[in-house]
Amino acid sequence: MASDMFEFCSNMTEEQDARARALIERAAAKWPLRILHVLSDAGAPLRFSRLLERVEGISQKVLTQTLRTLENDGLVIRTLYPQVPPRVEYELTPLGRDLLMQVAALWRWIVERLENFDARKAVKLTAAAV
């Protein structure tokens, strides 16, 4: 069984498990992570159009979709200022900042070992062990 690295998820309902898996998957996915990163770097609320500029390569549609999901997950706050033309600002919630810190730790761990992630390394180690 290996020492139980996943003991923490033994007392969960299927629904909770699915929710946690969805959250971890989304937090590490391309667009959500870039958006959270940009909002964190900005350190202040950003308008929709600023995000569209700074999140390189994202389309308007995908930006909208992803922001909705991040909002539903409680990671960003959307504030509408009812003006003409309208102004909408997005900012990280405390939870969003905390989650990003956790993901950043994993990211950093990977970056520090980047050269090890290569099939050839694994083959060499196996050969050496035999």
Partner DNA sequence: CCGCATCCTTTTAGATACTG
Partner DNA sequence: CAGTATCTAAAAGGATGCGG
CA 2 distance to own-chain centroid: 29
Q: Binding segment for DNA among 11-19, 49-57, 98-106, 112-120 (CB under 7 A)?
A: 49-57
Residues 55-94 that bind a second copy (CB under 8 A): 71-75, 77, 93-94
Rounded CA separation 64/71 (Å): 11
Q: Is 106 in the site for a second copy (CB under 8 A)?
A: yes
Q: Is 49 in the site for DNA (CB under 7 A)?
A: yes
Q: List, in order, residues 6 or more apart from 17 with CB less than 8 Å away.
A: 9
Measured CA distances, 38 to 9, 24, 100, 125 (Å) = 31, 19, 11, 39
Contact between 45 and 79 under an 8 Å Cβ cutoff? The reply is yes
Residues that bind DNA (CB under 7 A): 30-31, 47-50, 57-62, 64-65, 67-68, 78, 80, 85-89
Residues that bind a second copy (CB under 8 A): 1-2, 5-6, 8-9, 12, 16, 19-21, 23-25, 27-30, 33, 37, 40-43, 71-75, 77, 93-95, 99-114, 116-123, 125-126
